[in-house]
Amino acid sequence: MDFATLIQLLDSSIRLATPLLLACLAGLYSERAGIFDIGLEGKILISAFFSASIAFTTGNVWLGLLAGIASSMVFALLHGVASITFRGNQLISGVAINFLAAGMTVVVSDSWFSLGGRTPQLETSGRFQNITLPFAEQLQGVPILGPIYHDLISGHSILVYAAFLIVPLTWWLLYRTRFGLRLRAVGENPAAVDTAGISVVRMRFTAVLICGVLCGIAGAYLSTSLSAGFVREMSAGRGFIALAALIFAKWRPWYALMACLLFGLLDATGSLFQNIRLLGISVPVQFMQALPYILTVVILAGFVGKAIPPRAGGEPYVKER
């Protein structure tokens, strides 16, 4: 594989890793606070739809982004009400949210655009344009580094850079601030937080809403940056892969970045090298496409060391038994 192809592959990996990364960090906030969320998928999807359709109708991608985030937060709120306020089963609530998104997006888009569950193509103004970093053009000539800077690092949409910036931000928030301390505590032992005079409910809702915001950005990225419009089921399991990445990363920001890049690379490989041959036998394209899912299982199987989730994760906090 020559250098250009490698750059191309990595470039594509970064694009495909971005939604995973955003979703993964979203999950990180929620699960660190003790709320499991398999509804990431649904939140991504709903946001992808709303950001695309609002971006189309207003012709302003930023409004689209806001709409996407808002819709995703509404779903996050729903999950919060179900699993925090009413102490429902967090898994079931997540499953419901995924279905709700899958159905709603198509039903609503049909009644808005009647394009068979799709939004119209977005014009330039309705999309996040790829931004060229300073000196990218000038430096392009420089061997090795030139192409790396020009083709790999430069020329992504603002959301990509945002996603990568959120990683250190999250780390700082988690380990250096009061909010982070309380967030981690509420995921480990809510009773301790409660007796310390902090409202468990408020902490958890905050976390769930942050999760909603990040999923919202992920969805907007899918429909207004990676592609030019919404199509049904466009999240294509990314929410679940993000969850696996989160477990892989043992709920830690920097590792989450690594995990997501890995999955992004896999996805890119899957679509770029469809008919690769290993030791003479050609690997079926279906295998390449299933690879991320297979790897997810392998990772969950704990072949990467045991991952201990936040202790209070998954259980509603009940004072009175």
Ligand X SMILES: Nc1ncnc2c1ncn2[C@@H]1O[C@H](COP(=O)(O)OP(=O)(O)OP(=O)(O)O)[C@@H](O)[C@H]1O
Binding to ligand X (CB under 6 A) within 302-321 occurs at 320-321
Looking at the Cβ atoms of 191 and 294, the one nearer to ligand X is: 191
* Ranges within 195-254 binding other proteins (CB under 8 A): 195-199, 222, 226-229, 231-234, 236-237, 240, 243-244, 247
Three-state DSSP class for residue 278 = strand
**DSSP, residue by residue, 213-262:** HHHHHHHHHIIIIISSS--TTTTTTHHHHHHHHHHHTTT-HHHHHHHHHH
Dihedral pair phi/psi, residue 157, rounded to 5°: -80, 160
Looking at the Cβ atoms of 192 and 294, the one nearer to ligand X is: 192
* Cα separation, 180 vs 198, whole angstroms: 13
Q: How far is the CB of 205 from ligand X (least distance, A)?
A: 23
| Binding-site size, ligand X (CB under 6 A) | 2
Q: Does 132 bind other proteins (CB under 8 A)?
A: no
Looking at the Cβ atoms of 144 and 318, the one nearer to ligand X is: 318
* Ranges within 150-179 binding other proteins (CB under 8 A): 176-179
* Cα separation, 130 vs 59, whole angstroms: 17
Residue 9 zone, left/alpha/beta (φ > 0; ψ -120 to 50; rest): alpha
Residue 276 contacts which entry, other proteins, ligand X, none (Cβ below 5-8 A, type-dependent): none
CB-side exposure of 242: number of CA atoms within 13 Å? 36
Place of tokens 């032992």: 189
Three-state DSSP class for residue 123 = coil
Looking at the Cβ atoms of 2 and 320, the one nearer to ligand X is: 320
Looking at the Cβ atoms of 117 and 216, the one nearer to other proteins is: 117
Place of tokens 């109708």: 57
Q: How far is the CB of 55 from other proteins (least distance, A)?
A: 14
Looking at the Cβ atoms of 86 and 172, the one nearer to ligand X is: 86
Q: Does 16 bind other proteins (CB under 8 A)?
A: yes
Residues 97, 89: contact at Cβ < 8 Å? Answer: no
Residue 305 contacts which entry, other proteins, ligand X, none (Cβ below 5-8 A, type-dependent): none
Residue 152 contacts which entry, other proteins, ligand X, none (Cβ below 5-8 A, type-dependent): none
Q: How far is the CB of 191 from ligand X (least distance, A)?
A: 11
